[in-house]
Each structure stands twice: as structure tokens, then as C-alpha cells.
Chain A
Amino acid sequence: MRVLRRLAPHLVAGTLILALAVHFGFTLLYLAPANAVGLRARPIVNRYMEPYFRQNWSLFAPDPLVDTRHLLVSCRVSDGRGGTRDTEWADITTPLREKRAVYRVGPSAPLERTQMGPLHMILAPGDRLVERLARRKDAEAQFASLLAEYESERARAAERGHRLLRRVASAACDRILGAGATSAVAMRMRVTESPPFSHRSDPLSTSASRYVEFPWGPYERVTLF
């Protein structure tokens, strides 16, 4: 017992140092760009790090977004004669941004994230390394299963994004037209490129916009606030 008490500080200190070294060794491998050691260890590293130590520090890196995105919705409602009509596009992002410009703290930021999050998810750029593999001539044979898994994961993520957008749009339609009036929703994203740095004094309204269309989908009932 006395021996144990004397050894305890040594054992505890040794264990803590070892734990720190192992944990941050894994973290370093997890965060490092693809390299010879990292690639081989990737499955083990991921199993240790995910989900609880998952992390991503590409904060505004390598480059910040150069465009401004707005989400627009259209609601399909009954026209009262047994048919349907589609409402005009309604911009549901601008009201949140206008509020945020005045009240710097408040719920506008998280509410905006429910709109921007799914958009980023649908339009996420592909993994550079995997796409380089896919371009190789022998890609099909060597990495077929890996590429298939990657593609299906991307497709699933995009599907989740579309589902979420439909729910955001459904809630927006309920707020505009009253709950339950809508049978289907459509979304489009307006993308406005920021003027280049040399024209930084130009207002955003002088920049050209393009639209990304998302197909009509069924209305889903969502709790409003």
C-alpha cells in the first residue's frame, strides 16, 4: 500500500504524459494533409477521432467565399378552382440580414445558418485528393470501391441538404400564407459575386447575379416560432 502511494505520482504523471502524446499524435495525423504516414493510418485515426474529437479548422481558408447567397422560395397553393398556382419568388434571406445589420446580437445568425448550411452542403466542393484519383486512367480498376463510396456519400449529403431546404421553405411558406396552405415548395439560390478588390467601392447591386434552381418537392410540416 505504502509502495503504491509512493509510486502513484510517477504512475499518474507518466500516464497523463503518455495520454497527451498519443491523443495529440492522433490529432496531428487527423489534421495533417494527405501524406504517406497519414494515409496508411487514416482508418485507425478516424476511428479514434470521430465523432467526439472531430474537428475542422479551415476558418475562412484557404480562401473566403467571394459571393453573397440568398435563398428564395415559391409556394404551390390551391387556386380555389381545383387547380394550383405558384406564388412569386420570395427572398427569405434578406429580412434576416437586415435584422442582423441593426441588431448585432440576436437569433438572426443561427436562423440564417439553417438556410446557408444546407446550401453549402449541396454545393460543397469535392475532395481534391479523391477527385485527382478519379481522373487517373486506371482509377476504375484500382479505386473503384473507394470512389463509389465517396460518390454515394456525396449524394447522400446532397439529398440531406435538399430535404432540409424543403423544410426551411415549407416553414417560410407557412409564415407567408398561413399554416397548411402549401402543398409543394421550390427553392432557388441567388448568387451575387462580390466585385473584385479593385472595384471594392462598387455597390453589390452592380454585380451580376446567377440563379441555382432546386426542384419542386413536397411540403413538410415544421414547427414555427
Chain B
Amino acid sequence: MSSTDPSAPSPRPTVVASIAGAWSRLLGFASRPHFLTGASVFRIVAGLAFLYQLLVVYAQRRYLFGPDGVYPYDLFLDQLDAGSFSLYALSRSLVGFEVLYHATIALAVAWLVGWRTRLTTPLLWIAIWSLRERNPFLWDGGDNVMQLALIFACFAQVGGRFSFDATRRELAGAGPMSPLAAMAHNAGVLACAMQICLVYGVAGLLKVQGESWQNGTALYYALRGGEFTWPGYSEWIFENGPLLALLSYSTVAFQVSFTFLLFLGRRLRVAAVLAGLSFHIGIIVFMSLTTFGAFMMAVDLMFVTDAEYAALGRRVAGVRRRVASLATDLVRRVPRPALRRIRHRA
């Protein structure tokens, strides 16, 4: 265009050129996979939580989900929305139920260890969705988050690290991810980020409207009410007025600010992830919302970059080396006869 007549001063080509430049930079960025380690950490933490969720009610599974369980089969069929489905609707037999439940456990294990995640991720979504529809009374916000995150994870590469898939690819000498697959992966991770921002943002803005969150006593009521109290321990928090107000307000502050922290800079993003982790560890310990906390942490852990995970890995390895050399040092300092005595005893 302008190259044919460089003397003609026209602002247009520069605007077009800068847009084209930005677009090609975006394409370049999107063609490489980002947050690969985070996506795998997500898989491992969420996989463990799924497995816990399935196994912790293993003895009660027929009562909770079985054909003659607490949620009646006719109501279950009635309630399946026009657009929804559940594999448990295919058969009313106990054998069918047992096969499905155990297949779900097997799938959760396969997914956790990263075996054929391109296939097992959508299958796990189908299995978990089916179970969720079979008894809709058991689930909380954590299950809701995972239901959505699993859909987005179908686009992402959640088996990139610490997985059977990764080992297989390494042995086969596979090259880096294709640009198109990388784009899908990045879009999946970005969707998880946008979803979790909506979760925190909406939860935070709804809290702002509540009187007890405004006056800083909400956490007292949350910890005092029947389902989430821990007799003998909840009192540590709710009898301490200043601590209680601080925790109530920082809950709201964290939730409302999460989106901005996540997208406005590296240090802020890491701070958001760390705040999210400590927030959910507190929820697990004090409110025993185990799977809720674990599922939320799984999604939060996605948003640590590969370089940051690598640096963390190096630091952990360094600490381990130092501890190991310290141990050998100590052993060397033990006098020989004493060492012989210890060996003799062992």
C-alpha cells in the first residue's frame, strides 16, 4: 500500500498497520501454550478432590445415588430438564448403577494420573454431570465451579505435566504443541480465569449488600450456624471481635478485588492466588467444606505461570539438596563406633 507511494502522508495505513501488528503479536503469543503446569496442577488437585468425593460416600453410595436411594427415581426422571441428561436414567437396575459408579471412580483415577486426558476429560464431565443430576441435593458452589471448569478443560491441555500422557509423548519424542492446539489450550485456561473472576466478583458484590458483611459480623453467623460450626474451635475465631471483623472484611475485599489482582500484573496475580489458597484452606479447616475448598484451590492454582512453577520447583529442589547435605554432614560427624552400634541394632 504505502510502499508504492512513500511520500503520500496518510494516517490510515499506520492505524491499520498497528492493528495488524497487534493482531500478529497476539497470534504469536496465543500460538504458544501458557500455564501448562498450572493446568496439570489443576487436574491433580481437582482429581484428588473428585476421588475423595466419590470414595468418602462409598459405603453410602446406594442410599445417596442408587435406584432406590433417598432421591426417588421417578422424581429424578421428572426433574431431568428437557435439555439435560444423566447416564443413570438409562437403567434402573442396581447392577447398572454399580457399573456406572465404579466406572466414574476409574475415570477419576485415569484423569488424576493424566491418562489420555483428551478423552478422559470430556468423559469425566459426562460421568460427574450424570451423578450430579442423580441427586441434586448434595452439591455446593465448588461442584458448580468444577462442572464449568471441566467443560473449559476439554479445550485445554491438562495432561501436559506429571502425567502418563507427558511420559508417553516424551518417549515418542513428540515435538511442541501445534499452534492451533495451543490456542485452544490458552482459550480454555482463559475461560477458567474469566469464570473464577465472575465467581469471586459476584459472590463479593452480593456480600457487600448484606448487613452482616457490612458490619463485620457475617463470619460469626457463618461459623455459629449448625452446618459449618466446629465445636471447640470455631470459638477461637468468633469470640475474638477484631479478628472476626478483619476476616469478614478481608473476605469481601479479596472476592471483590480478585479480578483486578489477577489481570493487573504479575505480583498482584501471585498475591491473588496466595490469598485464594489461604482463604480456602481456612474454609476447609474451619468449615469442613472440603471439596468446595479443594475445587476452588484447583482452579486458583491454574494461574501460576510455567516459569513461576519452574522457579518454585528449583527452590524446593535446592531446599531438599541442602537438607540432604545437612543430613549427610550430621551422619559424618557421628563417631564411627556409635554409627556401627546403630547399624548393628538396625
Complex contact B231–A101 (CB within 8 A): yes
Is A144 an interface residue when CB atoms closer than 8 A count as contact?
A: no
Question: Nearest chain B CB to A142's CB is how many angstroms away?
Answer: 28
Task: Kindly specify which of A132-140, A180-188, A217-225 makes contact with the partner chain.
Answer: A217-225
Complex contact A60–B231 (CB within 8 A): no
Q: How far is the CA of A150 from the CA of B30 in the complex (A)?
A: 46
Is A160 an interface residue when CB atoms closer than 8 A count as contact?
A: yes
Complex contact B64–A58 (CB within 8 A): no
Complex contact A114–B84 (CB within 8 A): no
Complex contact B70–A164 (CB within 8 A): yes
Complex contact B221–A223 (CB within 8 A): no
B222 in complex: contacting residue of A64, A110, A121, A171, CB < 8 Å = A64
A110 in complex: contacting residue of B27, B64, B285, CB < 8 Å = B64
Q: Which residues of B contact A27 (CB under 8 A)?
A: 195, 198
Question: Nearest chain B CB to A57's CB is how many angstroms away?
Answer: 4
Is A73 an interface residue when CB atoms closer than 8 A count as contact?
A: no
Question: Nearest chain A CB to B23's CB is how many angstroms away?
Answer: 8
Is A24 an interface residue when CB atoms closer than 8 A count as contact?
A: yes
Question: Nearest chain A CB to B24's CB is how many angstroms away?
Answer: 9
The interface bits of chain B over 159-178 (1 if a CB of A lies within 8 angstroms of the residue's CB, else 0) are 00000000000000000000
Task: Kindly specify which of B137-145, B259-267, B308-316, B336-344 makes contact with the partner chain.
Answer: B137-145
The interface bits of chain A over 78-93 (1 if a CB of B lies within 8 angstroms of the residue's CB, else 0) are 0000000000000001
Output the nearest chain B residue to A52 by Cβ-Cβ distance: B151
B72 in complex: contacting residue of A105, A113, A167, CB < 8 Å = A167
Complex contact B230–A13 (CB within 8 A): no
Question: Nearest chain A CB to B152's CB is how many angstroms away?
Answer: 10
Complex contact A194–B221 (CB within 8 A): yes
Complex contact A63–B203 (CB within 8 A): no
Q: How far is the CA of A27 from the CA of B197 in the complex (A)?
A: 12
A141-169 contacts to B (CB < 8 Å):
160, 163-164, 167-168
Complex contact B187–A107 (CB within 8 A): no
Residues of B with Cβ closer than 8 Å to A?
26-27, 30-31, 52, 56-57, 59-64, 66-72, 75, 79, 81, 83-84, 129, 135, 137-138, 141, 144, 147-148, 151, 179-180, 183-184, 187, 190-191, 194-195, 198-199, 202-203, 206-207, 209-213, 217-218, 220-222, 224-227, 229-232, 238-239, 285, 288-290
11 A-B pairs (CB sep. < 8 Å) = A17-B187, A57-B206, A58-B202, A61-B207, A61-B209, A61-B210, A107-B57, A110-B56, A160-B79, A223-B62, A223-B69
Q: Besides A61-B210, A62-B206, A117-B137, 11 other CB < 8 A contacts?
A: A13-B183, A50-B83, A59-B203, A63-B211, A64-B218, A68-B224, A104-B290, A105-B288, A110-B64, A117-B138, A164-B137
